[in-house]
Amino acid sequence: MEIGKTYNPKEAEAKWYPYWMKNNFFASKPDKTKKPYTIVIPPPNVTGVLHMGHMLNNTIQDVLIRRARMLGYNACWVPGTDHASIATEAKVVALLKEKGIKKTDLSREDFLKHAWEWKEKYGGIILEQLKHLGASCDWDRTKFTMQDELSDAVLDVFVDLHKKGHIYRGVRMVNWDPQGLTAVSDEEVIHKEKDSQLVYINYKIKGSSEHVTIATTRPETIMADTAVCVHPEDERYQHLKGKLVIIPLINKEVPVIFDDYIDKEFGTGALKVTPAHDINDYNLGIKHKLPVIDALTADGKISEAAQIYIGMDRFACRKQIIKDLQEQGFVTKIETIKNKVGHSERTDAVIEPRLSMQWFLKMDKISKPALDAVVNDDPEVKLIPEKFINTYKHWMENVHDWCISRQLWWGQRIPAWYDGQGNTVVCKTKEEAFEKLRSTNTEVRMENIKQDEDVLDTWFSSWLWPLTVFDPHIIKNGWDKANEDLKYYYPTNDLVTAPEILFFWVARMIIAGKEYTGQKPFTNVYLTGIVRDKQGRKMSKSLGNSPDPLELIKKHGADGVRVGMLLSSPAGNDLMFDETYCEQGRNFANKVWNAFRLIKGFMVEDIKQTEAQKEAILGFEIRFSEQLELINDNYSKYRMSDALMKTIKLFWDDFCAWYLEAIKPDFIDGQAQPIDKSTYQTTINFLEQLMVIIHPWMPFITEEIWHLIGERKQNDCCIVANWPKSQSLKEDLLKEYDSTKWIITTVRDTRAQKKLSPKDKLELFETSSKPISHFRNFVIKLANLNKYELTSEKIEGTISFIVNDSSFQIPVSVNVEEERERILKEIDYNKGFLKSVQVKLANEKFMNNAKPELVELERKKEADAMGKIKTLEAQLSSLK
């Protein structure tokens, strides 16, 4: 079989992904003879296209699932998409607008027809894009959060939790999107830093020439003020107890109230209280029994309740009211400040706190098992990294009732029914509702029964994801009657997701799992960081700093991009992405390919194996065993970047730079010499093992090489090859092998310093109570020696060095004074370098915040510098 000079990722990707699919390597069915390993994909929005966050998240999932498959687990990775109510409805509304159709001109049924048509046409794009990355999902299990059975389960949960008294309907303060005309959850609010005007306004005290000054960034809401609040211990305002102040422009009288909620040191110490437009003001209003006046309409215009500026846009009103207040002398000053302003993630409209009739889920009792599952000495669910446990604990101990209704049409419609006479029932069908309503209203007619217009929050369906992807009937049937899939695959093993949805999705899945199975939904939660650019900015379309992942794959190959994404992505820490990482990934793929071509290019003959080759094989065997243990340990601790770096180093350094250099045949008179069969076959075996441990990171090139190594049966593929088993580690041999590397490196450095040709053979003498015994020929080959002997004598005219407790001498022509000067300079340089490294390692801030691989790199620098200084000092001593 002809092997290409260069690796062609496009050809390999086009060949092997369909091959894996055709041979059902991704498929999983319950098998009691094998342990399951299960991941459910965080379902991307059906509106989505692949971005860098998806690339990071799904590459990690694929690495975990591929390795589990090779370890012999029945690996199951369930894919799917989320119906994303707000985002999808916005897409469909925009599409209809292009056709000259308004949503308000359509019936609900007609709008949903358009929405489903859009979903069928565009909804699977992101899953198809994941295939380009190499995602080995069981595509036959693909789910969608609004498919019939999954939607049915959502309604079952609503009915069940309402029956248990956990769901209620009431007026509460919510995040309101005036453009989308719906309530949105906290995680759908993006806070942006803005320059705002802080306006200081005088409120006249009734019956007095005095006034109280309040400061606000929202003067357009003063018409809805129902009090001014000050701290009860603020001496400036003690005389105002029982007094009224007059709101400017509308001359409305409101009381001065006293509450220790106020920070008397902040601003003027006096706060305008607007219960309809701020959650804290709303809470003050409830406490002090204040009326609620809503100065804004649902679409962000000034309401009739405001009395003035009626119908004006809220921001236009803000400009106008400041001007009017200034003209009438109420404004004392205006400051420009920076503050965080909430925007709708989907429409980018500025969010309004708004009192609205909504459906809520009580969270106090139902959430407690989910808190205990994570915050425990022996937690059922482990968060990786652990630093997020305190965040989780804080959220769960301060949990608020969950607003689960949305004023949209795309989503699961709330199964609540009204008879028009003030009666409400909760059930799944209109027929059930009719029977229930008849018990309180005998004259109710079927045609008068109306279903609630709202749909459920998208999270109210996705919190069931680990359950309903396996058994959508679990809610009504219960765990005892769960199907075979759920009993086998649940709880799942690992969840890979982002910290920003730790509460909004992860915690809620634990709540649902505990409520309906009594079990956790997963064991480990690996929390990725945010992908940022080199400047530390979050990647976004608006900044134009987010590369197209598919273009990166075209340029660097899927394997190169996968490696590039994971080279520096420790759990929970942000990834500063630079395309050069993908170049490094591509370069590594080329290194793997070139090493493979070198090996396949060997001329194999039935000749005797050399001692150097035997020793090289022994050295790589013990190095591979050592590194495999470390790599497995990194995987077990979810130190993905560390596992990848060790895998790369094992291949690039230990296999290519040391092993292949030691076993490859010499060139004599420009002709490559043959290699013996035993060494060649052992090298092929090493290569196969290396392809296996590289495969989770780089599935395409490893599969290609696997099949080019030799003829294979149809199912003899790298994707299902057995993960190497750890061998007992021979510590004494490993220590000796490491010593030989120091010896060889020092001899090579001496050649460079003395400007000696690499072809010139040198002599080496060792003085030691425990000399190198297993790798002497290995040293001779790689150091290019013609003599390597033991001696107890000090030999004149040599350069000496120490490795561990052994001293070595290389006979070379030496100018003692020049050599002494050179060594002293090198010692000074290395001591200075060592000091700078040790200062960094002594820096508590660096040690607490630096990525683990950076700390490890600095420690390696420290050890290397100390070793170099020791060697140089020994050389200096030998010159005296």
| pLDDT (tens digit per residue) in 37-79 | 999 999 999 988 888 989 999 999 999 999 999 999 999 999 9
* pLDDT tens per residue, range 862-874: 988 888 888 788 7
Record the tokens describing residue 632, joined without a space.
């497995």
At residue 814, the pLDDT reads 67
* pLDDT tens per residue, range 370-382: 999 999 889 999 9
CB-based contacts of 771, cutoff 8 Å, min separation 6: 790, 806
pLDDT average, residue stretch 736-745 = 94
Res 564 pLDDT > 70: yes
Res 275 pLDDT > 90: yes
At residue 337, the pLDDT reads 92
- Average pLDDT, whole number, for the chain? 93
Q: b vs e for 785-820, b when ≥16 Cβ sit within 10 Å of the residue's Cβ?
A: beebeeeeeeeeebbbbbbeebbbbbebebeeeebe
Answer with the residue of higher pLDDT: 545 or 517: 517
Q: Order the strands of the 352-361 sheet from edge to edge.
A: 182-184, 167-177, 352-361, 402-403
What angle, rounded to 10 degrees, do the helices at 125-133 and 549-566 form?
A: 50
Cα 62 from Cα 136, distance rounded (Å): 6
Q: Order the strands of the 762-767 sheet from edge to edge.
A: 785-790, 762-767, 806-811, 798-803
Res 460 pLDDT > 80: yes
Band of the pLDDT at 725, cuts 50, 70, 90?
very high
Are 356 and 200 contacting, i.e. CB atoms less than 8 angstroms apart?
no
pLDDT average, residue stretch 110-116 = 96
At residue 380, the pLDDT reads 97
Backbone region of residue 645 per phi and psi (left: phi > 0; alpha: psi in -120 to 50; beta: other values): alpha
C-beta neighbour count of 560 within 10 angstroms: 27
At residue 737, the pLDDT reads 96
Band of the pLDDT at 12, cuts 50, 70, 90?
very high
Res 311 pLDDT > 80: yes
* pLDDT tens per residue, range 628-661: 999 999 999 999 999 999 999 999 999 999 999 9
Are 362 and 401 contacting, i.e. CB atoms less than 8 angstroms apart?
yes
Pick the closest to residue 54 from 431, 552, 792, 644 (CA basis).
Answer: 552
Res 529 pLDDT > 70: yes
pLDDT average, residue stretch 813-828 = 81
Band of the pLDDT at 848, cuts 50, 70, 90?
confident
Res 853 pLDDT > 70: no
Record the tokens describing residue 627, joined without a space.
């590194």
Q: Which of 131-145, 342-356, 503-517 has the lowest mean pLDDT?
A: 342-356
* pLDDT tens per residue, range 297-309: 999 999 999 999 9
At residue 577, the pLDDT reads 86
At residue 1, the pLDDT reads 61
At residue 570, the pLDDT reads 66
Pick the closest to residue 192 from 421, 348, 5 (CA basis).
Answer: 348
At residue 521, the pLDDT reads 98
Pick the closest to residue 474 from 465, 486, 463 (CA basis).
Answer: 486
pTM of the model: 0.87
Record the tokens describing residue 149, joined without a space.
């059975």
Res 536 pLDDT > 90: no
Cα 865 from Cα 831, distance rounded (Å): 8
Full 3-state SS string of 794-823: CCCCEEEEEECCEEEEEECCCCHHHHHHHH
Sign of CA dihedral 276, 279, 284, 289: positive
Res 250 pLDDT > 80: yes
Res 879 pLDDT > 90: no
Band of the pLDDT at 625, cuts 50, 70, 90?
very high
Cα 176 from Cα 403, distance rounded (Å): 11
CA distances from 433 to 112, 506, 650 (A): 23, 34, 67
In this structure, the dihedral spanned by the alpha carbons of residues 615, 617, 619 and 624, taken in order and rounded to 10 degrees, is -170
CB-based contacts of 535, cutoff 8 Å, min separation 6: 545
Pick the closest to residue 463 from 413, 501, 400, 506 (CA basis).
Answer: 506
Pick the closest to residue 260 from 276, 271, 247 (CA basis).
Answer: 271
Upper half-sphere CA count for residue 693 (Cβ side, 13 Å): 27
Full 3-state SS string of 53-83: HHHHHHHHHHHHHHHHHHCCCEEEEECEEEC
Q: State the burial class of residue 731 (Cβ atoms within 10 Å of its Cβ: 0-12, 13-18, 19+).
A: exposed
pLDDT > 70: what percent of the chain? 99
DSSP 14-68: HHHHHHHHHTTSS-----TTS-EEEEE--PPBTT----HHHHHHHHHHHHHHHHH
At residue 805, the pLDDT reads 83
Band of the pLDDT at 238, cuts 50, 70, 90?
very high
Cα 556 from Cα 564, distance rounded (Å): 9
Are 273 and 234 contacting, i.e. CB atoms less than 8 angstroms apart?
no
* pLDDT tens per residue, range 573-618: 888 888 999 999 999 999 999 999 999 999 999 999 999 999 999 9
Strand pairing class (252-258; 167-177) = unpaired
Record the tokens describing residue 347, joined without a space.
């429409």
* pLDDT tens per residue, range 398-451: 998 999 999 999 999 999 999 989 999 999 999 999 999 998 888 899 999 999
Cα 136 from Cα 25, distance rounded (Å): 8
Identity of the residue numbered 727: Q
Band of the pLDDT at 753, cuts 50, 70, 90?
confident
pLDDT average, residue stretch 561-565 = 95
Band of the pLDDT at 849, cuts 50, 70, 90?
confident
Q: b vs e for 575-607, b when ≥16 Cβ sit within 10 Å of the residue's Cβ?
A: bbbeeebbebbbebbebbbebbbebbebeeeee
pLDDT average, residue stretch 780-809 = 90
